[in-house]
Structure 1
Amino acid sequence: MRIDAHKVLMNSPNDVSALDRMIADGTVDPREIVAVIGKTEGNGGANDFTRGFATLSFALLIARHLGTSSDAVLKRVAFVWSGGTEGVLSPHATVFTRSEAAPAGAKRLALGIAVTRDLAAEEVGTMAEVHVVAEAVRHAQAEAGIVDAADVHYVQVKGPLLTPAMIAEARARGARLVTTDPNGSKPYARGATALGVALALGEVEEDALGDDVIARDMDLYTTVANTSAGGELKNCEILLFGNAPTAGGDLAIGHAVLADVVDAAAVARAAASAGGTTADIVSIFAKAEAPPGGVLRGRRTTMLSDADINYERHARASLGAVIASVTGDSAIFVSGGTEHQCAPGEAPIAAIVRVGTA
């Protein structure tokens, strides 16, 4: 199989004109679209409705080209959106297609997709979520044809947070929740899905996990997950990227660890991990985190003390500018919140590069 990545720019959350043109000129075959990962210009919070708006807009476009319904598209295409394009970050989407191709003769980009069952409100941010995500990650790895976990370089997970409606319904049943604050549920939700990735890939042991460590013991983590939580879905969608000998095409993926939000050298390390250079980068996916205690390389910042702007927005803007300064491209997937995604203060970064045919 061959995985291709097509970056499309967006002038608004419902702007699908770039993909429409690519389908019309034959660059993208709508029958081969399997996933869309993108950034919208919402606030990234519990009330960020740009993500659902974008999903519907893309689903309607693809449905029109396929002569089917948007519901049918939502069953065949995985959509993952992260809100918040602060600073120089540009709203965009990366559209992934899968087609038949002979193996390239070297390990090339492979993609596995899995979807969990719907989660009850009381399962969000708990070991129940960890386990269902771990099972889905294992399924996605098998689908991608990746045998060695070391060849997995990026796992994107989007899962639910606790919306007011979910909280009210759970309370009516007398269910116990990790929190009754919708925005406050994001760390638990992101943390549980990240630990699910870590468990599936052997980065943490089962006996080290429990409800009491989620979003608390940050010494337990994965280095390849990028997890988000939103109110637009009730299940978890997993997109697992790695390199497999059975894959075709001219793309490969690698990853690195950002020491902090100004670690520009990590961009080159991620590209090199895939066998390329920064000039070969097709797409970048990264997490942004405020420095521990708000102190960045000995200098105080206001990321964690600003009452007006959430730290995630500060961090996304900072990292977006740093990466764009290296690549010259501000259409970058940068999301906030790194619970159990690398060691405290650090964050994951993955790069898809064009390496040519073997």
Structure 2
Amino acid sequence: MPPHAHRPRPPHHRTGPDDVSGLEAAIAAGRIDPSGILAIFGKTEGNGCVNDFTRGFATQSLTLALARHIGPERAAAVCYVMSGGTEGAMAPHWTVFERVEGEGATGPALAVGRVHTAPLPAEHLGRTGQVEQVAAGIAEAMRQAGLTDPRDVHFVQVKCPLLTAQRIGEAEARGARVAVRDTLKSMGLSRGASSLGVAVALGEIAPEAVTDAAIGRDLALFSGRASASAGVELLGHEIVVLGMSAAWSGDLAVDHAVMADAIDVEPVRAALARLGLGAAGQLDAAARGRLVALLAKAEASPDGAVRGARHTMLDDSDISSTRHARAFVAGALAGLVGRTDIYVSGGAEHQGPPGGGPVAVIAQRG
């Protein structure tokens, strides 16, 4: 029987990073089989910066919860992609990706592949070594999902590491030099190198176009299907590939769009329409019910303006620009779909054009 991707809508939104009661309730009711969980994406309530430990807290809480059902080894194999920061009205929530075997609606349907990479040496972060590791991981995730054509891949979610003072010190003690000693800036370099790894793996750019000097600087190089989120809670990468495959069945489909700037919602509206959720304005209740997940990247436009009007996100010394961008883009997208439980990740280095970012829509097939 073909693999079947499924994610029942949880009846419960989280009250904190350790609140797994919604997942437990879905398992107890038989709506989720924990043995089939491939990945869990989450938005957590922290600041999304280097010292945001809500991501690790959430990952630990989910791992321990699943270990009670499927054992520690299988629980550790799940990809936990936690994105910190729920600024504005973005709702903290989980999105659970489950694979089961069965005869669902005939394909093509949503296909999911996932992989954990080995720990990345600190001196490779933000350099071509990270690009190559991510590209190899994506190839393996595609193989697992049976996605042979990169054009069938609509979104690649990467959880990548960052540098801390301790990790920098350990690298320097063995004679290695890291790409940057500023730990906050290391997040952007890690996201950028990971995203260029996606672009290389999917054939969006040639491998030889990526050099150490280009990472974080040559903004003409980007992927239209990459989403990278850096965190202190891991040393390697957790990679989840989402695509459409005729070898998969089920009632879910995925499509993607690329926003040219932070308020460019029309490409997202077009992606919704391709999935049967077309609307001239905000989605109505029936369409909102069919929308399973909305995943997006956001960043403050590096030229300091949005459509010619000045923004101050890059000039705020108190709040990181990634936090401003998450709230701004989340508000624009929430107004489009009529929901706030959407996944908006800040920092879109090499993810879409400068100031914009890729978006993925997962919906129940009509």
The TM-score normalised by the length of structure 2 is 0.93
Instruction: Compute the displacement of 1:169 (Å).
Output: 0.6
Cα distance change, pair 100–72 in 1 and its aligned pair in 2 (3 A): closer
- Uncovered stretches (5+) of structure 2, i.e. residues with no partner: none
Q: Given residue 223 of structure 1, which amino acid in structure 2 is its aligned partner?
A: G
What is the 5 A alignment of 1:237-248? 237-248=238-249
Tell me, in whole angstroms, the C-alpha distance in 1 between the residues paired with 2:137 and 2:275.
25
In the alignment, structure 1 residue 60 sits paired with structure 2 residue 70: no
Query: Secondary structure at the residue paired with 2:32?
Result: coil
In the alignment, structure 1 residue 308 sits paired with structure 2 residue 322: no
Which of these residues, 291, 304, 319, is aligned with residue 281 of structure 1? 291
Q: Given residue 115 of structure 2, which amino acid in structure 1 is its aligned partner?
A: A
Cα distance change, pair 6–312 in 1 and its aligned pair in 2 (3 A): farther
Q: Deviations over 1:229-287 (max 9, x none)?
A: 11110111110000000111110000001122222323312223445445232100000
Contact 1:3 1:110 in 2 (8 A): yes
Tell me, in whole angstroms, the C-alpha distance in 2 between the residues paired with 1:7 and 1:95.
9
Which of these residues, 341, 345, 349, is aligned with residue 335 of structure 1? 345
Cα distance change, pair 135–221 in 1 and its aligned pair in 2 (3 A): same
Query: Secondary structure at the residue paired with 2:7?
Result: strand
Q: Pairwise CA RMSD of aligned residues?
A: 1.4
Equivalences, count: 353
Q: Given residue 16 of structure 1, which amino acid in structure 2 is its aligned partner?
A: V
Q: Deviations over 1:4-37 (max 9, x none)?
A: 1245421100000111111111111111111100
Q: Deviations over 1:123-150 (max 9, x none)?
A: 1111111111101111111211112211
Contact 1:255 1:273 in 2 (8 A): no
Contact 2:116 2:237 in 1 (8 A): yes
Instruction: Compute the displacement of 1:72 (Å).
Output: 4.2
Q: Deviations over 1:169-193 (max 9, x none)?
A: 1121121110111111011100111
Hey, what does 2:80 align to over in structure 1?
A: 79
The TM-score normalised by the length of structure 1 is 0.95
Q: Given residue 69 of structure 2, which amino acid in structure 1 is its aligned partner?
A: H
Tell me, in whole angstroms, the C-alpha distance in 1 between the residues paired with 2:303 and 2:49.
22
Tell me, in whole angstroms, the C-alpha distance in 1 between the residues paired with 2:22 and 2:134.
33
In the alignment, structure 1 residue 169 sits paired with structure 2 residue 179: no
- Uncovered stretches (5+) of structure 1, i.e. residues with no partner: none
In the alignment, structure 1 residue 4 sits paired with structure 2 residue 14: no
Contact 1:252 1:274 in 2 (8 A): yes
Instruction: Compute the displacement of 1:65 (Å).
Output: 2.4
**Greater displacement, 90-99 / 291-300:** 291-300
Q: Given residue 253 of structure 2, which amino acid in structure 1 is its aligned partner?
A: A
Q: Given residue 254 of structure 1, which amino acid in structure 2 is its aligned partner?
A: D
Hey, what does 2:47 align to over in structure 1?
A: 43
Tell me, in whole angstroms, the C-alpha distance in 2 between the residues paired with 1:7 and 1:168.
44
Q: Percent of aligned pairs with the same residue?
A: 46
Tell me, in whole angstroms, the C-alpha distance in 2 between the residues paired with 1:274 and 1:243.
12
